[in-house]
Structure 1
């Protein structure tokens, strides 16, 4: 006995025009007489089968104030919602953290963990390029004689969140890699692995 669909409203009014009583229409559509009566009255007063527009609660911020919030978030992507709310309140908008988060989401700005970026020193890039060029023509036999090793750093790196749009990785949306903590070392070659 929920709300009537558009087809049921049209059928309700057609049955009423054909002379069926409100009780008969309610029984046929499986709803209450009150619902049928209101549907018929709505059609007679508005001339439409659709619901009247509901105004809803008015927004507490204007489009300009929303743009100010988005601009503040883009200027410093690491600012948290409470920090952005404080800045927004200085512009005269009294809003909750949930409202701030909702406005940012409407603009496509969602909190993501910052991507970790290795230090982009030119010497590292130069060495990687030299290695790649020097070994470009190696065969699998050459590579099978190589001992591959890697050490993993375990560190207390708390996650850093940034506000960015989906699939955007601007430079100010990354977090520099910090080499602190202790490590685990392991190596492998084509016959097996070495662990320590």
Structure 2
């Protein structure tokens, strides 16, 4: 459970003032397990700050992420696979899924162009003739 810094500080302050874990639980400022975990971590580390969670290292740096964004903004119609290929040429070995995640982090979401009917010269001319011929008509006509 995530607790705010103030709650952790309050729990430790009560603990330092001689309150037992049971007494602190009775105040109902946090669940029992959370209170005992905060006290235990404080005794071990001497700090109420939360350790940074571990995890898999990122494939790309901030600089490389900005480079990907520039590549994508240059050609907005490029697919994530094409962007991954270009990014690989710049020295970052990442999948198309990673490319999508990085662009999403930067606020760039995928789009698909709307399908529009293609108008040939003949279609354009025929439409104009139709509009001129029937432009004066009313709903009753």
Q: Deviations over 1:57-96 (max 9, x none)?
A: 5533234433443344445555443333222212111223
RMSD of aligned residue pairs (Cα, Å): 3.7
Higher helix fraction (1 or 2) = 2
Report if the CA contact (8 A) 2:88-2:94 is conserved: yes
- The answer to whether the aligner puts 1:31 opposite 2:50 as a matched pair is no
Cα shift readout 1:35-58 (whole Å, capped 9, x = no counterpart): 14236548x944xx5535558655
In structure 2, distance between residues paired with 1:131 and 1:100 = 49
TM-score w.r.t. length of structure 1: 0.50
Structure-to-structure mapping, 1:1-196, within 5 angstroms:
2-6=1-5, 8-26=7-25, 28-29=27-28, 30-32=31-33, 34-38=36-40, 40-41=42-43, 45-46=46-47, 51-52=50-51, 58-142=57-141
Of structures 1 and 2, the one scoring higher in RCO (CA 8 A, sep 6+) is 1
Query: Equivalent residue for 1:160?
Result: none
Contact 2:12 2:39 in 1 (8 A): no
More strand by share: 1
TM-score by length of 2: 0.63
Distance 1:59 1:36 in 2: 29
Query: How many residues in Structure 1 have an aligned counterpart in Structure 2?
Result: 138
Cα distance change on mapping 1:68 and 1:126 into 2, 3 Å: farther
Listed one character per residue, the Cα deviations across residues 121-147 of structure 1 (whole Å, up to 9, x for unaligned) are 4553354344334433322221xxxxx
> For residues 50 and 37 of structure 1, what CA distance do their matches in structure 2 show?
12
